[in-house]
Homo-oligomer: A and B are copies of this chain.
Amino acid sequence: MITNRDTKILEAILFASGSPILEDDLKDKMLNKKDFKQEIDNLKEFYKDRGINLIKTGNKWSFRTSESIKDELTIFKTQKRKLSRAAIETLSIIAYQQPITRSEIENIRGVQMGRGSIDHLMEIGWIKPSGRKNIPGKPALWVTTELFMEHFGIEKISDLPNKDELKASGFLEKRSAIATITDIAGKNDLIEDQDTEEEETLDDFIPEETST
């Protein structure tokens, strides 16, 4: 079957927009605007018995998943969140310098931590305690887990770029580092810029996008 260009345009716009679109806006994008009625009716008919249907609500059109399967089908969507800055810093220090105690981490970061970051990283399953350091107080030593490596897509901890490689890859380049951070900060709010409130980090996360 040869699909008419206007059909394709309507289909794609309705799909890509993700929310209902005004009839006039749809017409606007067509090559032969006078065919709108016929095109949209054809499309509606075409999708009538499929997994997605074309629906008109008010003067807007949209695709939506079919009523006929709604009872059996539950979609699991994932809400993606970024770690707080405190947590990602803590995680990176553990990753590079494991095994390491909490006070050693605090030393490197130059700030005291609440329980938040460590607890939270442990809850996600990216770090775990592994033995105790043989100094007074016998503090717990922290290491990263298999799950951590899985999530970040590395096979071995030694695969992490070392300091020279970070430098050579541009991570330590002052200019680009600043540019990158401000770039991102402007466009996507990736990381909460908060050092405090470790206890509340769970609420700090920014839901990013969702997917199944």
Which A residues lie at the B interface, using CB under 8 A? Answer: 1-3, 5, 7-13, 15-19, 21, 25, 29, 49-52, 63, 65-66, 68-69, 72-73, 75-77, 80-81, 102, 113, 115-120, 122-123, 128-132, 139-140, 145, 153-156, 158-161, 165, 168-171, 173, 175-176, 180, 183-184, 187, 209-212
Contacts and interface: CB of A to CB of B under 8 A. Distances in A.
Nearest to A211: B19
A169 B119 contact: yes
B115 A176 contact: yes
State how many copies of this chain the complex holds. Answer: 2
Contact of A211 (B7, B17, B49, B80): B17
A106 B68 CA distance: 55
Contacts of A52: 11-12, 15
A18 B63 CA distance: 12
A52 to B, nearest CB: 5
Contacts of A1: 49
Interface centre among A50, A115, A145 (most CB of B within 10 A): A115
Nearest to A169: B118
A118 to B, nearest CB: 4
A203 B193 CA distance: 56
B176 A154 contact: no
Given A1-B49, A128-B153, 18 more contacts: A13-B212, A15-B65, A16-B73, A16-B212, A17-B212, A29-B75, A80-B187, A113-B170, A115-B175, A119-B170, A123-B180, A128-B154, A130-B159, A131-B159, A132-B159, A139-B165, A140-B159, A140-B165
Contact of A9 (B72, B131, B154): B72
A150 to B, nearest CB: 12
7 contacts: A3-B51, A8-B51, A18-B18, A18-B211, A19-B211, A113-B170, A132-B158
